[in-house]
Chains A and B, each alone.
Chain A
Amino acid sequence: MDCTQIYQIVMMPEVFLVWTSLAKILGLLGIVLGLVSYTVYAERRVSAFIQDRLGPNRVGPQGLIQPIADAFKLVLKENFMPAGVNKFFYYIAPKLSMIPAILVLAVLPFGSTLLGVPMVIAGIDIGVLWVFAVSSLGVYGIVLAGWASNSKYSFLGGIRSSSQMISYELSLGLSVIPVFMVVGTLNLPEIVLYQVKNGWLIAPFWPQGFDLAKLAENPGGAWEMVVASFAAGFSLQKLLLWVPLFLSFIVFLVSIFAETNRAPFDLPEAEQELVAGYHTEYSSMGFALFFLGEYAAMIAASGVIVTLFLGGWSLPLVPDGSAESFFGLSFVPGWLAGVLWGFVNIGVFFGKVIALLLFMIWVRWTVPRFRYDQLMKLGWYFFFELALFNILLTALVLIFVP
């Protein structure tokens, strides 16, 4: 076989799909797992700063190598299995909490395109349903761990987790329905494309059709162009829709906090009450998997929020991977410009995710934990109704305001 034959095989549609998907999977997993370890580091550093401490600052400059040291420590520890555990469930529970978090990543559009390849592993039409279906499986890991460990603390953690789930899953699902009513699809990449065209869902004003290239041609008319673009992006419907969309953003955000077991809804862990909740009896890699799963779930959840409400990989004025020029620089060929902008888009997506992660950390070290009944009340009495009302409001706006 010579080169052209190999090229032909590689470019066959099926083969092409397989190897590009594999490359995307490897790349995304690499980024996310790296992000996980540095989220743990950020968690420790930020919490320390908030509490007037310094946090880990010994291993490497500013403690930046700490995650690697932590990983070594966890790997080298004994994987201890207490007596009386249900071995099978005890063994699979950590995996069950890690896998769903990773699976959610499959449908997230984490960039626009690179050389025409869309930066999403599976752009399936049931995107959001997939996210909900898979991410709620993560609860099984926690419940099984709590039940199989044969420990009172773990058991209480598991029970709390299951009852927590029934109180927030409802509002979680209902709160995003307005998004689909507005956008009209469940496909996550298309939701992002809609936001690229019409502005982020939580932004009431949007400069529509504002183009840097045109601005470069006519720098004097910048102000008029800004005004004109905002006027073009404005409509009464959009302004009115902003109210329910913002409400659903809030409800969704709060539910996501509960979904990922983050404070103020970290009832299953509750280190002050339950030692470490569901993973009390785990050590070494079992514990590490729970830990990774928790943070991977955080990242996946942030990715979902970013995709649904914050415009995904888009940033106003930043072109996507199909762009032909890079700041009008003549020595950058068209394809390279597309690749560069593609990478910028990926960077934008992860930048937004990181901002949300930092926000989650910030909230965790601010808000005290909700009590059991308070969470249920919040979920059932407040957010459930709010989400329903929100759907109604969206429908009314969509029907009566053209």
Chain B
Amino acid sequence: MAIVVKRAKLSLLEKLYFPALIGGLLITIRHFKNMFFGKTKVTMQYPEERWDEHLPPHYRGAPTLVTDEVGRERCVACQLCEFICPSRAITIHPEEIPAHEKWGKVEKRPKTFEIDMVRCIYCGMCQEVCPEQAIFLRKDYLVIGYSRKEMVHDKARLYELGGVMDGLVLKWNEKK
């Protein structure tokens, strides 16, 4: 069935086009004026103005590794995060902790732990899956580098970004 669209009948004034044109010009000049006198709100002027203080607590920035309050690295190299990562950004090579070392009881730790920030999509799956609460998405959003290689965060960098997170997992305490 054909649908007939009824066109509104235009009056002579409307057909002349000029009144509408002038109306339009008035609208745009009003926007110009408001902008010119700074009445219009504009987007954040990023490099100068930053949102840092207003980042919400659940903000998902760069994934990082954390140590606990006594300086033990929390990651036990179970590689769950490596497997869950949807963009396969994480590469872990585990190693055994020699029994005579302080945290020999933990048995395993990552020899290398790399997150390729070019691949990471900041989904937070790694944080969610980690049984040791060792990996957290912190508030760093300025992840930049001049080459792809620079964009790969290695273990040292991850710990540097992550810092300390206390509480939460207590099962590796010496007394236990």
A residues contacting B by CB (< 8 A) are 46, 48-54, 362-363, 365-367
A365 touches B42 (CB 8 A): no
Smallest beta-carbon distance B25→chain A, Å:
5
Smallest beta-carbon distance A352→chain B, Å:
19
Would you call B24 an interface residue if the criterion is a C-beta within 8 Å of the partner chain's C-beta atoms? yes
Bound CA–CA A48/B32 (angstroms): 8
Closest to B17 in A: A378
Which of A49, A54, A363, A367 sits near B32, CB closer than 8 Å? A49
Would you call B27 an interface residue if the criterion is a C-beta within 8 Å of the partner chain's C-beta atoms? yes
Would you call B55 an interface residue if the criterion is a C-beta within 8 Å of the partner chain's C-beta atoms? no
Smallest beta-carbon distance B60→chain A, Å:
28
Smallest beta-carbon distance B28→chain A, Å:
4
Residues of A within 8 A of B31 (CB): 49-52
Q: List 10 A-B contacts (CB under 8 A).
A: A50-B32, A50-B35, A52-B34, A54-B35, A54-B45, A362-B32, A366-B21, A366-B24, A366-B27, A367-B21
Closest to A49 in B: B35
Residues of B within 8 A of A363 (CB): 25
- Beyond the given A50-B35, A366-B21, could you list 19 further A-B residue pairs with CB under 8 A, ordered by the A residue number? A46-B32, A49-B31, A49-B35, A50-B28, A50-B29, A50-B31, A51-B31, A52-B31, A52-B34, A52-B35, A54-B35, A54-B42, A362-B25, A362-B29, A363-B25, A365-B28, A366-B24, A366-B28, A367-B24
Residues of B within 8 A of A51 (CB): 31
Residues of A within 8 A of B45 (CB): 54
Closest to A54 in B: B42
Closest to B41 in A: A52
Smallest beta-carbon distance B113→chain A, Å:
39
B36 touches A49 (CB 8 A): yes
Smallest beta-carbon distance B13→chain A, Å:
16
Closest to B47 in A: A58
Bound CA–CA A241/B87 (angstroms): 75
Residues of B within 8 A of A46 (CB): 32
Residues of A within 8 A of B27 (CB): 366
Residues of A within 8 A of B28 (CB): 50, 362, 365-366
B residues contacting A by CB (< 8 A) are 21, 24-25, 27-29, 31-32, 34-36, 40, 42, 45
Residues of B within 8 A of A366 (CB): 21, 24-25, 27-28
Bound CA–CA A50/B40 (angstroms): 11
Interface of B, helix, strand, loop or mixed by DSSP: helix
Bound CA–CA A52/B29 (angstroms): 11
Smallest beta-carbon distance B19→chain A, Å:
13
A52 touches B25 (CB 8 A): no
A52 touches B42 (CB 8 A): yes
Bound CA–CA A102/B27 (angstroms): 34
Smallest beta-carbon distance B149→chain A, Å:
28
What are the 9 closest A-B residue pairs judged by CB atoms, nearest first? A49-B35, A366-B28, A366-B24, A49-B32, A50-B28, A52-B40, A50-B31, A50-B32, A366-B25
Smallest beta-carbon distance B44→chain A, Å:
11
Bound CA–CA A53/B44 (angstroms): 11
Bound CA–CA A357/B67 (angstroms): 64
Smallest beta-carbon distance A377→chain B, Å:
12
Bound CA–CA A49/B36 (angstroms): 7
Bound CA–CA A50/B32 (angstroms): 5
Residues of B within 8 A of A367 (CB): 21, 24
Bound CA–CA A363/B32 (angstroms): 12
Closest to A46 in B: B32
Bound CA–CA A46/B36 (angstroms): 9
Bound CA–CA A52/B42 (angstroms): 7
Bound CA–CA A46/B29 (angstroms): 10
Bound CA–CA A176/B29 (angstroms): 30
Smallest beta-carbon distance A56→chain B, Å:
13
Smallest beta-carbon distance A59→chain B, Å:
14
Closest to A365 in B: B28
Residues of B within 8 A of A54 (CB): 35, 42, 45
Smallest beta-carbon distance A124→chain B, Å:
36
